[in-house]
Structure 1
Amino acid sequence: MPEVIFPGPEGRLEGRYHPQKDKDAPIAIVLHPHPQFGGTMNNRVVYNLHYAFHRMGFTVLRFNFRGVGRSQGEYDQGIGELSDAAAALDYLQSMNQNAKHCWVAGFSFGAWIGMQLLMRRPEITGFVSVSPPANMYDFSFLAPCPSSGLIINGSADRVAPPADTRALVDKLHEQKGITITHDEIEGADHFFQDPHMDTLIEHVTGYVQRRLTEGTR
């Protein structure tokens, strides 16, 4: 498990970094759920997303937001966490300057941060947003959404109700030039408890591989 410590806006950030041998391999960062509700980079969804991207040939970084684990700083309402994500992407890019593609994946709170990062970083070519909490956070900044991506949630999600996720997807579907793919996994809750974790990873893997084959339009 390659542990890394890299500079963040409020001090050191702790991460796990898995490179590929191929120097121009695509890169991905994976963002964890809410720090104040037990979210860490070792969350099961985040961990499984990390290894799914690595199996697909990505060099991958997941990390702890400020104040989590060995990462310095304190929780900052999402503002500082977005800066942390930008610093993590900077670090990943500095180590992989020949990467052809750049993806961001996030779960729950991490999905909200990931979508904001998408707006700031035009080099991001694709995203995976798992259980985005559209009932808790304003996603109206996605106007227009700059990249195609996958939004995936469970039909039995009580933390981020499916109706709110569908409303978010409907808004994004109205935008031209991008394609938002929406998968709702029947019976899955917010955390994709077994047996739904395997289904989640199958959907994500299928989507990302299809996009890579198409040249990540």
Structure 2
Amino acid sequence: MPEVIFPGPEGRLEGRYHPQKEKDAPIAIVLHPHPQFGGTMNNKVVYNLHYAFYNMGFTVLRFNFRGVGRSQGEYDQGIGELSDAASALDYLQSMNNNSKHCWVAGFSFGAWIGMQLLMRRPEITGFISVSPPANMYDFSFLAPCPSSGLIINGLADRVAPPADTVSLVNKLHEQKGITISHQELEGADHFFQEPHMDTMIGNVSDYVKRRLTETSR
């Protein structure tokens, strides 16, 4: 797993970059949870999402937001972190000019950042939002949501209550031209502690594979 350092808006950003041999492989970035609550690119959900995408044939990049690990800068309330994510996507695209598909996956705070990145970057063809904190952050910028994706959360989530996620999904369902898939895992908490991690990753993989099959027809 090659360590990479690439330029961000506030200095260098530290990442892990996992390329495929195929030059036209799809690409994905994976975004970690809240930096001020111990979130890093080595979070278990982020790590497992990274490898799930890699095992499906994606070239994948996960990275530390500013002020985390060896990434320079300081926490910036999500504004700077969105710029970091944009820089990460720029870096990934610069190394993979022939990629036909571009996905963004995020966990918790990273899901909020990922959905904002989606609004700015029309080339993103799909998204995965794991445990989006709809109770803490305003997701109303998703009007309209530009691409289809999967929102997945646990029914035992006390950090981001399921009712708030359902409200978010219902708002997105009203939009035409995209399909928002929503899955809730019985007994799973915010972090998908075992035995729920494997189930969540399996569901994500099934969804992404189905989407890739549909677009290749």
Gaps of 5+ in 2: none
Aligned partner letter, 1:10: E
Change over 3 Å in CA distance of 1:199–1:86 after alignment to 2? same
Other-structure match for 2:162: 162
1:216 Cα deviation from its structure 2 partner: 7.5
**Residue deviations 1:58-101 (CA, integer Å, cap 9, x gap):** 00000000000000000000000000000000000000000010
Shift of 1:43: 0.0
Q: Provide the aligned C-alpha RMSD in A.
A: 0.9
Q: Which residue is 1:141 aligned to?
A: 141
2:109 is aligned with 1:109: yes
CA distance in 1 between partners of 2:171 and 2:149 (Å): 14
Shift of the alpha carbon at 1:45? 0.0
- Match of 1:215, SS state, is helix
Per-residue deviation, 1:114: 0.0
Q: Which residue of structure 1 lines up, in the alignment, with residue 81 of structure 2?
A: 81
TM-score after normalising by structure 1: 0.99
Distance 1:183 1:99 in 2: 28
Supply the distance in 2 between the matched residues of 1:34 and 1:145 (Cα, whole angstroms): 23
Contact 1:32 1:46 in 2 (8 A): yes
**Count of residues paired in the alignment:** 217
The match for 2:95 is: 95
Q: Distance in 1 between matches of 2:20 and 2:190?
A: 31
Matched-pair contact (CA < 8 Å) for 1:65–1:84: yes
1:206 and 2:203 are equivalent in the alignment:
no
The two structures have a TM-score, normalised by structure 2, of 0.99
1:200 alignment partner AA: M
* 1:156-208 CA distance string (max 9 Å, x none): 00000000000000000000000000000010000000000000001000000
List structure 1 segments (4+ residues) > 6 angstroms apart after TM superposition: none
The corresponding residue for 2:177 is 177
Q: SS of 2:14's equivalent?
A: strand
Q: Work out the percentage of aligned pairs sharing the same amino acid.
A: 89
Q: SS where residue 123 of structure 2 aligns?
A: coil
- Give the match for residue 26 of structure 1: 26
Please tell me the residue identity of whatever aligns with 1:8. Answer: G
C-alpha distance in structure 1 between counterparts of 2:187 and 2:118, whole Å: 29
Alignment partners' CA distance in 2, 1:129 and 1:69: 23
Alignment of 1:117-128 (within 5 A): 117-128=117-128
